[in-house]
């Protein structure tokens, strides 16, 4: 079994080396795909140092968004299982064994890592951000008839065959409700696993904002009602 780790990257020079090392510390046969979404802070020069036999670095020539970076990454995976990893330090790659277990056991085709199911720890931060997340997850669940607790989580794991049946259209954070709607329509087996979460403040580099929440709301309606 080979694991493809797709990491969208935008202006993460302070964290990219550390997260790359953490990913390589997990006990799997790895393929790492880093997609630079036109970073301007020096991240690109660091990424060039990381290229190697098990690491592809792909470059966008304009900033397009997380969804676009993931679309590029998914088009280049060759592993049996694919996991999304953010380039910051909010999500811990040491969670990979637990996230992959339902797929390795033959029980699941897709696994979501939930920040709201009991994990080992969770940094206490923004109430309104959490409330917005829960609202979007609730609305998504109403449309998909799933009972997810964290639709917006970064940690989503797929058997590669599932991704091959999906075309990602959204360029930004609308990717999350889009992929959830499209996975639900495939009638695949979806599991959730509780994860730890070390969220960042906006001063520490968090990028998602209220406008992305509005976009996610539109995408929930778009991909569930009009497709």
Per DSSP, the three-state class of 187 is coil
Is pLDDT at 92 greater than 80 in this prediction?
A: yes
Mean pLDDT of the region 29-33: 98
> How far apart are the C-alpha atoms of 175 and 65, rounded to whole Å?
10
Cβ atoms of 74 and 163 closer than 8 Å: yes
Record the pTM.
0.91
Tens of pLDDT, residue by residue over 136-149, are: 999 999 999 999 99
Q: Supply the pLDDT for residue 173.
A: 86
- Positive or negative torsion for Cα 2, 84, 71, 102: positive
Examine the pLDDT at 94 and tell me if it is beyond 90.
yes
- Inter-residue contact 123 to 198 (CB < 8 Å): yes
Whole domain around residue 149: which residue ranges?
A: 2-225
pLDDT of residue 221: 95
Distance CA 36, CA 130 (A): 28
Which has the minimum average pLDDT: 6-15, 113-122, 159-168? Answer: 113-122
Look at residue 208 in the predicted model and tell me its pLDDT: 65
Tell me if 55 sits within 8 A of 4, measured CB to CB.
Answer: no
Per the structure block, which two tokens stand in for 88?
């910051």
- The answer on pLDDT for 135 being more than 80 is yes
Average per-residue pLDDT for the chain:
92
178 CA to centre of own chain: 12
Residue 70 scores a pLDDT above 80: yes
CATH at residue 106: 3.90.550.10
The pLDDT of residue 131 is 82
| Confidence check: pLDDT of 121 > 80 | no
Task: Tell me what percent of the chain is helix, strand and coil, each rounded to the nearest 5.
Answer: 40, 20, 45
| Mean pLDDT for the stretch of residues 73-86 | 98
CA distances from 83 to 14, 125, 136 (A): 22, 25, 22
Confidence at residue 186, expressed as pLDDT on a 0 to 100 scale: 95
* Mean pLDDT (whole number) for 79-84: 98
Distance CA 56, CA 48 (A): 10
What pLDDT, on the 0 to 100 scale, is given for residue 122?
65
End-to-end CA distance of the chain: 34
Q: Which two tokens stand for residue 160?
A: 């590669």
pLDDT digits (tens, 9 = 90+) for 104-116: 999 999 999 999 8
Task: Look at residue 211 in the predicted model and tell me its pLDDT.
Answer: 76
User: What is the structure's pLDDT at 202?
Assistant: 47
Q: pLDDT per residue over 181-212, tens digit each?
A: 999 999 999 999 999 988 655 455 455 666 77
pLDDT for the residue 126: 65
Adjacent-strand bridge partners of 156? 112
Q: Say how many domains are in the chain.
A: 1
């Amino acid at each position: 079994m080979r694991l493809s780790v797709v990491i969208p990257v935008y202006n993460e020079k302070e964290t990219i080396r550390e997260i790359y090392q953490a990913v390589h510390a997990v006990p799997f046969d790895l393929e790492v795909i880093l997609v630079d979404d036109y970073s301007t802070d020096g991240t690109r020069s660091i990424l060039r140092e990381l290229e190697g036999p098990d690491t592809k670095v792909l470059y966008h020539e304009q900033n397009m968004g997380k969804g676009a970076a993931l679309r590029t990454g998914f088009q280049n995976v060759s592993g049996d299982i694919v996991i999304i990893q953010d380039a910051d330090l909010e999500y811990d790659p040491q969670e990979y064994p637990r996230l992959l277990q339902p797929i390795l056991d033959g029980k699941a085709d897709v696994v979501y890592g939930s920040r709201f199911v009991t994990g080992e720890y969770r940094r206490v931060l923004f109430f309104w951000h959490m409330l917005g997340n829960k609202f979007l997850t609730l609305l998504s669940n109403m449309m998909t008839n799933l009972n997810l607790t964290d639709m917006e989580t970064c940690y989503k794991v797929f058997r590669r065959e599932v991704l091959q049946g999906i075309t990602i259209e959204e360029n930004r954070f609308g990717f999350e409700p889009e992929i959830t709607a499209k996975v639900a329509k495939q009638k695949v087996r979806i599991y959730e696993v509780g994860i730890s979460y070390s969220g960042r403040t906006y001063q520490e580099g968090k990028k998602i904002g209220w406008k992305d929440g509005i976009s996610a709301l539109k995408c929930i309606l778009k991909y569930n009602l009009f497709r």
